Amino acid sequence: MLLSDRDILALIRLGELVVEPLFDDTVRENGLDLRLGRGYCLLRPRRGVVDPEEPPGPLELYDCREAGAGGIVVPPGRRVLLHTLEYIRLPPYLAGLVNLRSTWARLGIYIPATVVDAGFEGQLTIEVVGSEFPVRLRPGQRFLHLVLARLATPAANPYSGAYKGQRGVRLPKIFETHTTR
């Protein structure tokens, strides 16, 4: 069952669902609108094979930065890791489905299917695939829509993996120590 705005607000008031910061326009009819944070990592072009068992250094694969006054320009067809401004905490009976807000999709930006597991907490790291033309994004813009679904029963093992509590862009687990803010 998907949660409505009334369900979401009730869970926030009870402290079962945490969204920080929470803005007046965060809670929507059927989910949460989440904003862009400042950190981003542009994936570097690479010809060689990347083996997760023997990874190169993260600087060989990513150019990580903080957005300045000009924001973040997503180059055509390139992949960028971004993060949400909001830190969220889901209870063990809620999971989330991350969608791009339609304004950005209409500009040709794409995000792969992303699920937020029951029990997750942290800022979300999202992969964005560029459009046919450069698109400028600015920290603080509403960018993602998180639809929340109630599980039939609470998860027996809520999320407790390596990404729990993350802040900023979190690179893949193969680079365990690297995070950008």
Query: Would you name the residues annotated as active-site residues?
Result: 127
Closest alpha carbon to 152 in 96, 107, 95, 87 = 95
Contacts of 113 (CB under 8 A, 6+ apart): 97
Q: Rounded to whole angstroms, how far apart are CA atoms 81 and 125?
A: 7
**Residue 121 near residue 66 (C-beta atoms within 8 A):** no
CB atoms within 10 A of CB 57: 9
How far from 140 is each of 33, 69, 84, CA to CA, in Å? 11, 12, 9
Q: Is the dihedral of CA 81, 169, 139, 29 positive or negative?
A: positive
Angstrom distance (rounded) from CA 116 to CA 158: 11
E runs forming strands in 90-168: 94-100, 114-116, 121-129, 135-137, 142-150
Helix (H, G, I), strand (E, B) or coil at 78: coil
